Amino acid sequence: MADWSPIAKVYDPLKAGSIDGTDVEPHDRAVWRAMVARYKPNKGVVGDPLLTLFVARLNPQTTEDKLHKVFSKYGDIQRLRLVRDIVTGFSKGYAFIEYKEERSVVRARRDANKLVVDQHEVFVDFEQERTLKGWVPRRLGGGLGGKKESGQLRFGGRDRPFRKPINLGVDPGQDWGGGGGRERDRQGARVREDRDRHRAETLEHTHTNDSC
């Protein structure tokens, strides 16, 4: 429990799929996809990841000029990249914005999240791909956040941090994400034993009645 943090320090799809990071089995197919994904950050990306924002849920019609106009009010922009389809050239609905100063990044992250741009409420967060080890993007079943309607909630981010798990008497030196799972395994084993015992007794009783 000493190492517990509401914000993910290393990305683990299984923990991200759990409200408190203690799940031992994936609860949706997207978590499975993220667990088996062999994703590696794009080495061709340039710029300082600590000064870069991720902007998503953009209107497909939003242009680089519009983004620059909206986000430049938070500080001087060093670099802006609206991600487009390599074949069609259409916007994929997300962009990366690198500022010149850290205070500009913090201000934009705080004030621009849920800002309406071209009739779309945008999502703004710090870049995760190059700053969070093990990161898997949402298109592969990973990510942090998400909507309840999709059934793919992800935790460990600033908008949806982990809830502090209940201390079930695990060893203090044990990893915070695994204690609850071992306790549930023991409880599950006892339940299965009781169920099997009840089933055996029922079969024995049925066999005795048939013999009579």
Write the pLDDT tens digit of every residue in 51-85. Answer: 999 999 999 999 999 999 999 999 999 999 999 99
What is the DSSP code (8-state) at residue 42?
Answer: -
Tokens 């204690």 found at: 179
pTM: 0.70
76 CB burial (10 A radius; 0-12, 13-18, 19+): exposed
What does the alpha-carbon distance between residue 115 and residue 120 come to, in Å, rounded to a whole number? 8
Beta-carbon count within 10 A of 134 CB:
13
79 CB burial (10 A radius; 0-12, 13-18, 19+): middle
Beta-carbon count within 10 A of 132 CB:
20
> What pLDDT, on a 0 to 100 scale, did the predictor assign at position 147?
75
Instruction: Summarize pLDDT for 13-34 with one digit per residue, the tens.
Output: 999 999 998 888 998 899 999 9
- The mean-pLDDT minimum among 44-48, 130-134, 179-183, 187-191 falls in 179-183
The domain 49-128 having CATH identifier 3.90.226.10: the answer here is: no
Domain boundaries, the chain: 1-41+132-158, 49-128
> pLDDT-derived band of residue 95, with 50, 70 and 90 as boundaries?
very high
Tokens 């309607």 found at: 149
- Between vectors from CA 8 to CA 17 and to CA 35, what angle results, nearest 5°? 45
Instruction: Summarize pLDDT for 145-202 with one digit per residue, the tens.
Output: 877 777 788 999 888 899 988 865 554 444 444 444 444 455 455 555 555 555 555 5
